[in-house]
Structure 1
Amino acid sequence: MNDNDRSIVGLVAVAHAMVHTYELSIPILVPIWLDTFTAIDLGLTQFPVNAATIGALVTVGYGLFGLGALPSGILVDRIDARILITGCLAGMSLSFLLLAVAPSPVLVGVALAIWGVAASVYHPSGLSLISRGVEQRGSAFAYHGMAGNIGIAVGPLVTILLLLVLDWRAVVAVLTVPAALAAVYAIRVDIDERAAVTATDGGSEDGRAGTGVSSFAEFRSASVTLFAGAFAAVFLVTLCSGLFYRGTLTFLPELLQNVPALAPVELAGRTYQPGDYLYVGLLMVGVGGQYTAGRLTDRGRPEIGIAAGFTALAVVAVLFLPAAALGLGALLVVSALLGFFLFLIQPFYQAAVAEYTPAGTRGLSYGFTYLGTFGIGALGAVVAGAMLTYFSPEQLFLVLGGVALCGAGLGAFLVTRAPSTGTGA
C-alpha cells in the first residue's frame, strides 16, 4: 500500500472500530435493562418490559442505523467522506452521553435512535472512501473488516469489565470518550479520497460526475438502474446477512447466561458470567473470518464466498444449541465457527457491491447495501425477541438457519449468472 492507502485505511479502521464498539455494547446492556425497568410508558398506554418489547426498542436504533445509510450514501457521492465520518463519530459520542442520563426506557430508545442516525453515516462513507481512494481494495476491505471486528469484540469486553466496578450509566458515560477523540483525529487526517478512481470507472476523474443524484427523479433513475442488474441479488444477500446478524447477536448474551456449562462463577466476592466472555471470544474470532474473506476477494470471485459462507452458517445455526447441550468443549467449537462464518460474509458482499456498481453511484450503492444489512436487517432483533418470548430458542435458531439458506441460494445464483464485471453489469 502507498501512503495515501495507509492513511485512508487508518481513518476507516478507527471509525469502523468505533461504530461497532457502540453497536455491540448494547446487547451487553439489554439484560440490565430487562432487570432495571418494568414498563415502557408511552403516555396513553404502557407495555411490560420483556425480550419482545426491549427487542423492539433496540430495533429503533438499529433500524435507523441501516435506514439512514441510504441518504448517507447519497450524501457521500457529493460531500467528502472524511467530513461525514467526523460527524458520525461526534454524533455517536453525544448519543451515548444522552443514554447515560436517560431515566426511562422511552428515553433509552431516543438515545439509541440518535446513535442509529449518527452511526448510519459511516458504512456508505467508509466503504465508498475505500473503493474510490485505495488501490489495493481487497486488502483494504480486509483490514477495514478486522478493525470493525476488534471494535465488535473490544466494545462488549470493555463494557463487561467496567460493569464490574461501575453502574451501567457511568459505564455508558465513559464510553462517550473514544468516539470524541476519534472525531478529532478524523477531522485532521490528510487524504486523497479519489486517488484510485479513473474516468473509465463509471464517472469522471473525481468520481462524482456519474452520480446523477441531485433530485428525487435522478435518485429514482439511479436506483432503477442499480436494481435492474445483479445488484438486486446482492441487495437481498445483504438483507439475509443483516437478519441473521441481528437475530443472532442481540440476545446471545442473554441466551448464554442460561446454558448450564456457563453457570455464574463467584470469585473474590463478585459474580462473573462466563457467557459474556464467550460472547466476546466469539466476536473476536470474527477477525479471522473478516481477514480470510478479505484476502480471498483479491484472488477469486466474492459470489462463491457468499454461497459457501451462508451454507456454513445454516449448518452452524442448526447445531448451535445441540452442541451447547453437550458441554463446554462442543459449545466452544460451535461458537468459534459461528463467529468465523458470521463475519466471513461481510467482505464478500462488500466486494460484490464494488464489482457490480459504477464508481459514480458507489455511495448510493453502499447506502442501499446497509439499508438492507442494518435497516431491514434490524428486524432480526424483533424476530429474535418475539421468538424467545412466545416460542423457544430452538425455533429461533431454525428460523435463522432458514435465513442463511436463502443467502446461500442467492450466492449460488450470482455464481451461475455471470462472472463479476467490475462495471456494474
Structure 2
Amino acid sequence: MSAHPRGARAETATHFIGRDAGSGVNGNDRAITALVMLAHGLVHTYEMTIPIFVVVWLTEFDVVNLGVAQFDVTTATIGVIVTLGYGLFGVGALPGGVVVDRIGSRRLITACLLGMGGSYVLLGVAPNMVVIALALVCWGLSASVYHPAGLSLISKGVSERGTGLAYHGVAGNLGIGLGPLVAAVLLLVAEWRTVALVLGVPALFAALYASRARFDETAAVTAAADSGSKASSGVDSLGEFLAESRRLLAGSFLLVFVVVMCSGLYYRGVLTFLPELLRTLPGFEPVPVDALLPASVLSALGVEAGTGRPLKPQDYFYAGLLLIGVVGQYAGGKLTDRLPLAYGIAGAFLVLAALAVLFVPASAAGLGPLMAVGALLGVALFVVQPMYQAAVAEHTPAGARGLSYGFTYLGVFGVGALGSVLAGSILAFANVTALFLTLAAIALAAVTAGIALTRRT
C-alpha cells in the first residue's frame, strides 16, 4: 500500500523543510499556509468586487443584447448574469475535487490564479453586458477549483488543521473586505474597466509564486487517519466516482451538504445586491470627493475640484461589513477545535436567522442601529465557514477529501449562486422585507440540519 512510502516522503520532506530553530514551527505547515492564504485572499477579492461593479452596470447599461433577443438591465437580469459566474464557481468545484485527488493541489491552484487574472483582464476590456457575462463565466470556472484544492491541501498537509483553517479563513476575509474597499477607492479616480485591469495583475504574479513553492501535500495524512481509503489516488473512473459519491451522501455528510447549501444561499442572497439596497437609504447619499479632501490631496490624485467621481458610502459600508468578518472567520476556526461542531453550526445559523429578521427594522431605525446589525452580520456570516469546513473533514475519509470538498463548494457556491437570482427576483417583484424573511427561513433550515447532525456525530 502507499501509506508507508507516503509517510516516509512526509518525514523526509519535513526533515528537509525543517522546523525553525527553537520555535517549534512546522515549516511545511508554514509553506502551505502561506500559499493558501495568498490564493484564498485573491479568490475572494475578485468574488466580492463584483457587487461593487453591479451598481455601476445597473446605471451604465440599458440592455443585454443577445442578437436574437434583448433584455432590459434590471436587478433580475443582472442577478442572472452574476449567477452565471457565481454558479460555475460552485459547480466547477465538484470536478475540481475529483481532479485534486488525482493530480494534487499545487497545479490546480496555479491554474486557478492564472485563470482569474486573465478573466479580470477580459472584464477590463468588456464593451457590453454580454462580454461581462463571458468574463464572469471564465472567472467562475477558474476560481471553482480553488476551494477543493486549497482545503484538501490544508486537511492533508497541515498538522494543526484548525489553526490552518483559521488563518486560511482570515486571508479569505481580508480579500473579501479589502478587495471591495480597494475597488471603491480606485473608482474615485479611475473608470471601472481600468479598475478591473489593475485588479487582475496580482493573480498573475501569484500564479508564478504558486508554481515555485515547495511543500509536502500529504505530510499530515497517516495510515490510521486514511482508514484504508484511496488517499493518494482519488477516483479512477466514472463508476468509482459514483460509488464514492453515494458513499459520501449516504452518511452524515449529507447533513453537512444541506448546511453548506443553506450557507451559500444566505451568503449570496444577502450580499449580491447589498450595495444597491444601501444606496437608497438615508445617510448613504453620494458625497463629492472635493468636499472631503484638501486641494493639495486632490491635486496629487489628479482630481479637479467639482469634477471628481462622488464617494459612495454604501461601498464602504459593504466593505466594512465584509472586513469585520475576519473576526468571525478567526473565531470560527478556533471554535472548531473547542466545541462540538454540530452544536456550533446550529447556534451560528440561529443567530443569522435573527439578524435577517432584524436587518430591515434596523435600517429604518437609523444609521447607528444599521451599523450595529451590519457588524454582527459580518461576524456571523463567517463564523460558520470554518465550522462546516472542519465538519467535512470530520465526516469524510481522507482519500475522498478532495471529492468531499468538491461537493461542499458545489453546495456553497453552485447551489448557493441561486441566491443571487432569488434576491434579484424578490427585489424586482416584491420588496426588501420579503427578501430578508426568505433569508431567515433558509438559516432556520440550516439550524434544523445542524440539530440533526448532532445525532449522527
Q: What TM-score does the superposition give when structure 2 sets the normalisation length? A: 0.89
Q: State the Cα distance separating 1:262 from its structure 2 match.
A: 2.2
The aligned length equals 416
Match of 2:6 in 1: none
Quick check: 1:249 aligned with 2:271? yes
In the TM superposition, what are the counterparts of 1:13-412 in structure 2 within 5 Å?
A: 13-202=37-226, 207-209=231-233, 211=234, 213-268=235-290, 269=306, 270=308, 271-412=310-451
Partner of 2:22: none
Unaligned runs of 5+ in 2: 1-24, 291-305
In 2, Cα distance between equivalents of 1:205 and 1:356? 13
Code of the residue aligned with 1:414 in structure 2: it is L
> For 1:387 and 1:418, how far apart are their aligned partners in 2?
36
Given residue 49 of structure 2, which amino acid in structure 1 is its aligned partner?
A: S
- What residue identity is the alignment partner of 2:152? S
Distance of aligned partners of 1:175 and 1:412 in 2 relative to their CA distance in 1, 3 Å threshold: same
Q: Which amino acid aligns with 2:177?
A: A
Shift in Å, 1:41: 1.2
1:94-137 deviations in Å (ceiling 9; x for gaps): 01111111111111101100000000010000000000000100
Partner of 1:418: 456
> What is the match of residue 422 of structure 1?
none
Residue 240 of structure 1 aligns with an amino acid whose one-letter code is C
Aligned amino acid, residue 54 of structure 1: I
In 2: Cα distance, 1:204 partner to 1:92 partner: 36
1 CA distance for matches of 2:409 and 2:104? 19
Contact 2:89 2:414 in 1 (8 A): yes
Q: Give unpaired runs (5+ residues) of structure 1.
A: 420-425
Q: Which runs of 4+ in 1 moved over 6 A?
A: none
Higher deviation after alignment, 297-306 or 356-365: 297-306
Deviations, residues 317-367 of structure 1 (Å, cap 9, x unaligned): 010111111111101100001100011110000000000000000000000
> Deviations 1:264-283 (Å, cap 9, x if unpaired)?
22341442121111111100
CA distance, structure 1, for counterparts of residue 124 and residue 155 of structure 2: 36
- 3-state SS, counterpart of residue 208 of structure 1: coil
1:206 Cα offset (Å): 8.7
- What code does the residue aligned with 2:70 have? Q
Partner SS, residue 159 of structure 2: coil
Letter in 2 for 1:313: L
> How far apart, CA to CA, are the structure 2 residues paired with 1:297 and 1:363?
20
Q: Deviations over 1:173-206 (max 9, x none)?
A: 1011110111111111111100000112236699
Shift of 1:304: 1.3
Rounded Cα–Cα distance in structure 1 between residues aligned with 2:283 and 2:353: 24
In structure 2, relative to structure 1, the CA distance for the partners of 1:328 and 1:376 (3 Å cut) is: same
What is the match of residue 423 of structure 1? none
Q: How much is the aligned-residue C-alpha RMSD, in angstroms?
A: 1.2
**Is the Cα–Cα contact under 8 Å of residues 62 and 374 in structure 1 kept in the other structure?**
yes
Higher alpha-carbon Rg? 2
Q: 1:139 and 1:258 mapped to 2: Cα distance?
A: 40
Distance 1:338 1:158 in 2: 21
Code of the aligned partner of 1:215: S
1:142-200, CA deviations, whole angstroms, 9 ceiling, x for partnerless residues?
11001000000111011101110001111101011110111111111111100000112
Partner SS state of residue 47, structure 1: strand
* Sequence identity percentage: 56
